[in-house]
């Protein structure tokens, strides 16, 4: 039931405390940058890239935020919800702030870079193929997502429900129908009327948003960190829709994510987000407010209470040996895992036991083909150099039917190249003595010569795997492309690139940040169709949202020919059959139309 009830957020004492939203008769301290057009973050910032001046972002209530204190590596906390109805936002679609050329959120954060080079791993003979198979991709819906918001890069993600799509960028959120009708768009921070997280206390420095659709509970989930230098405070904002329609009621929480280790305070950067049957999980990198790096941070929320707007109960743990960990969401599998790079030839899988009470991290290493950090990517028409492809960190991950899929960018043939993996869990960690293994991997290098970067990977119910990524070259403006494979395609292969959106100009911002990540999801209506989001445009970027399907082979039993045996298998499946290999036209039903396609393929 959609309601307009508002519940004030209260503080809970303990090791970890959330920030309080003032009651209506209280006055919050004024921000350094107020929510007016003349004093918006965009208006106060330099108009040219490379001219960033130190800005002081003040937390409006620093005295009320108690930093996380890790005791024996673990902290726990609780936070009460604020219930917000987005239908009360006026207007429902709000213009982004004035466009600023090339301004990066990262320019207003303390130093938070890790070296591009990852540790060299032990050499092995594993090979990640670049071969192309004959799988075809069938594009579906295509529409423009959120446009330039005043920040670069967009950090775009999307979440797909039965009838709606939620998209986020730096620092905006929007809701769409599946045919592209925008029903809602506001700022994530306090520059909105109000901003999406403003009612729970968020002010003017919200960044790196992520969103996901939880098929276990049929809810949308959105997160975004906050950072304020003067008070050395930081938060992780989280919102959960009350049903599968994002228009209406959301349960929102603003939780502290200042981590104190010894005497040093750290804040959380580059978050990951994922779910499983029981929890919501957030990861991040821990950087000191003044200096230092403390590795990976994990926060686990017990999901049951959050789905009803109840008290959020969560626990934190950090693991100093890892960085840039991504959550491998699990569906229909019940347990999420976490993945990061350990070296140039190994991945590190993380599992958390007792995640909501006394979290303990366990590790398994998987040997993979060698992959050094990627170079930058050349781009047509650029006056400022090449595109930054980051440092080879994991981009995203998910788990399906006992297999973990993950992707990132590596160096191959002196180019930035999207690398993908299928890792077989072999019942780990349910069986603690089990050993996960590499099932297959592949590297996407189009025959037309483009570099590929920011890959996002997903698998559907019949085992099709799709990767969305950016691509560019000296003769190609940055574009959004996809590749895919069927479950029985030759090991390690992907289809030829299909270009979903062509760029028309080159970026002009210094440093040429692009991405920093794309998004992909499987449609829960049929558990088969893929949706993706990526950046396009140039100096004034935009995003595009696409759906697509993977065409199935008429050789259903994969014996090398289409014959009566395939026809017999298809006839046995006649009727409704969502995402099965016999449904050759991907309409969710096996019928005479599919039989006609099969007969045309007889040989």
pLDDT above 70 (res 21): no
Residues in the chain: 603
Average pLDDT of the segment spanning 269-288: 96
What is the mean predicted confidence (pLDDT) over 532-556? Answer: 90
For 340-377, what is each residue's pLDDT tens digit? Answer: 999 999 999 999 999 999 999 999 999 999 999 999 99
pLDDT at position 261:
87
Token pair of 512 as six digits: 């040429």
Q: Please give the average per-residue pLDDT across 370-395, as a whole number.
A: 88
343 vs 98, which has greater pLDDT?
Answer: 343
> Does residue 491 carry a pLDDT above 70?
yes
510-530 pLDDT per residue, tens: 557 788 999 999 999 999 999
Residues linked to residue 247 through DSSP beta bridges, in sequence order: none
Report the alpha-carbon distance of residue 212 to residue 521 in Å, rounded: 8
Q: What is the CA radius of gyration of the chain?
A: 23
* β pairing state of 68-69 and 326-330: unpaired
Tens of pLDDT, residues 422-463: 999 999 999 999 999 999 999 999 989 999 999 999 999 999
Higher pLDDT, 8 or 246: 246
pLDDT, one tens digit per residue, over 147-200 is 988 888 899 999 999 999 999 999 999 999 999 999 999 999 999 989 999 999
Work out the end-to-end distance of the chain between its first and last CA atoms, rounded to an integer number of angstroms.
56
Distance CA 255, CA 470 (A): 33
Average pLDDT over residues 562-566: 92
pLDDT one-digit tens code per residue, 572-600: 998 888 899 999 988 889 999 999 999 99
Instruction: Look over the chain and give the mean of its residue pLDDT values, rounded to a whole number.
Output: 85
Q: DSSP for 419-445?
A: EEEEEE-TTTTTSTT---EEEEEEEE-
Which pLDDT belongs to residue 482?
Answer: 97
Q: What is the pLDDT of residue 375?
A: 93
pLDDT of residue 30: 27
pLDDT surpasses 60 at 14: no
Q: How confident is the model at residue 102 (pLDDT cuts 50, 70, 90)?
A: low
Average the pLDDT over 27-47 and give the result.
Answer: 28
Q: How confident is the model at residue 223 (pLDDT cuts 50, 70, 90)?
A: very high
Alpha helices in 40-145 (DSSP H): 41-44
Q: Looking at residue 577, what is its pLDDT?
A: 87
Walk me through the domains of the chain, giving residue ranges and CATH numbers. 105-112+120-550 (2.130.10), 564-600 (no CATH)
Q: Give the whole-angstrom CA distance, residue 424 versus residue 403.
A: 5
pLDDT of 97 strictly over 70: no
Q: What does the pLDDT read at residue 40? A: 29
| 535, pLDDT greater than 70 | yes
Percent of the chain whose pLDDT exceeds 70: 83
pLDDT for position 104 = 63
> How confident is the model over 21-29, as a mean pLDDT?
29
pLDDT number for residue 578:
84
Lowest mean pLDDT among 56-65, 212-221, 477-486: 56-65
Comparing 26-35, 118-127, 399-408, 470-479, which segment has the lowest mean pLDDT? 26-35
Confidence of residue 49 (pLDDT cuts 50, 70, 90): very low
Encoding tokens for residue 596?
A: 């006609």
Given a cut of 60, is residue 415 above it in pLDDT?
yes
* Residue 574: predicted pLDDT: 87
Q: What pLDDT was estimated at residue 64?
A: 40
């Amino acid at each position: 039931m959609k309601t307009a009830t508002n519940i004030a957020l209260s503080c809970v004492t303990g090791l970890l405390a959330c920030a309080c939203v003032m009651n209506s008769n209280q006055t919050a301290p004024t921000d350094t940058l107020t929510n007016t057009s003349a004093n918006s973050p965009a208006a106060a910032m330099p108009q040219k890239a490379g001219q960033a001046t130190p800005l002081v972002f003040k937390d409006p209530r620093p005295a009320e935020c108690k930093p996380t204190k890790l005791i024996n590596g673990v902290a726990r906390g609780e936070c009460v919800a604020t219930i917000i109805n987005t239908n009360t936002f006026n207007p429902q679609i709000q213009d982004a702030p004035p466009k600023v050329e090339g301004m990066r959120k990262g320019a207003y954060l303390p130093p938070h870079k890790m070296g591009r080079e990852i540790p060299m791993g032990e050499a092995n003979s594993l090979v990640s193929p670049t071969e192309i198979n004959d799988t075809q991709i069938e594009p579906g819906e295509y529409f423009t997502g959120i446009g330039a918001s005043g920040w670069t890069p967009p950090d775009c993600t999307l979440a797909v429900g039965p009838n709606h799509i939620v998209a986020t960028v730096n620092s905006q959120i929007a809701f769409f129908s599946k045919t592209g009708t925008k029903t809602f768009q506001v700022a994530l921070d306090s520059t909105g009327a109000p901003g999406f997280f403003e009612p729970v206390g968020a002010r003017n420095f919200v960044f790196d948003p992520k969103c996901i659709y939880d098929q276990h509970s049929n809810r949308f989930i959105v997160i975004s960190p906050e950072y304020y230098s003067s008070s050395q405070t930081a938060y992780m904002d989280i919102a959960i829709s009350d049903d599968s329609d994002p228009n209406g009621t959301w349960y929102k929480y603003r939780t502290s994510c200042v981590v104190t280790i010894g005497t040093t305070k750290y804040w959380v950067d580059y978050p990951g987000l994922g779910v499983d049957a029981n929890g919501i999980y957030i990861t991040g990198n821990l950087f000191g407010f003044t200096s230092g790096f403390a590795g990976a941070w994990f926060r686990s929320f017990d999901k049951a209470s959050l789905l009803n707007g109840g008290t959020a109960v969560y626990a934190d743990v950090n693991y100093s040996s890892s960085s840039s960990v991504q959550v491998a969401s699990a569906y229909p599998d019940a347990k999420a895992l976490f993945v990061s790079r350990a070296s140039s030839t190994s991945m590190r899988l993380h599992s958390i036991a007792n995640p909501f009470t006394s979290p303990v991290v366990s590790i398994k290493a998987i040997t993979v083909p060698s992959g050094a950090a990627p170079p930058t990517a050349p781009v047509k028409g650029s006056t400022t150099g090449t595109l930054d492809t980051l440092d080879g960190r994991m981009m995203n991950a998910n788990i399906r039917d006992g297999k973990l899929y993950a992707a990132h960018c590596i160096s191959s043939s002196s180019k930035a190249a999207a690398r993908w993996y299928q890792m077989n869990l072999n019942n780990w960690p349910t069986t603690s003595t089990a050993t996960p293994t590499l099932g297959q991997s592949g590297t996407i290098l189009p025959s037309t010569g483009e570099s590929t970067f920011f890959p996002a990977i997903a698998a559907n119910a019949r085992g099709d795997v799709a990767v969305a990524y950016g691509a560019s070259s000296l003769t190609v403006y940055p574009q959004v492309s996809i590749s895919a494979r069927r479950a029985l395609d030759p090991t390690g292969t992907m289809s030829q690139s299909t270009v979903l959106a062509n760029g028309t100009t080159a970026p002009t911002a210094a440093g040429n940040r692009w991405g920093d990540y794309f998004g992909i999801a499987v449609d829960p209506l049929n558990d088969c169709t893929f949706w993706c989001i990526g950046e396009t445009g140039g100096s004034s970027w935009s995003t595009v949202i696409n759906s697509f399907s993977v065409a199935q082979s008429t050789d259903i039993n994969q014996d090398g020919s289409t014959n009566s045996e395939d026809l017999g298998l298809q006839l046995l499946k006649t009727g409704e059959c969502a995402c099965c290999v016999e449904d050759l036209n991907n309409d969710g039903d096996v019928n005479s139309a599919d039989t006609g396609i099969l007969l045309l393929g007889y040989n």
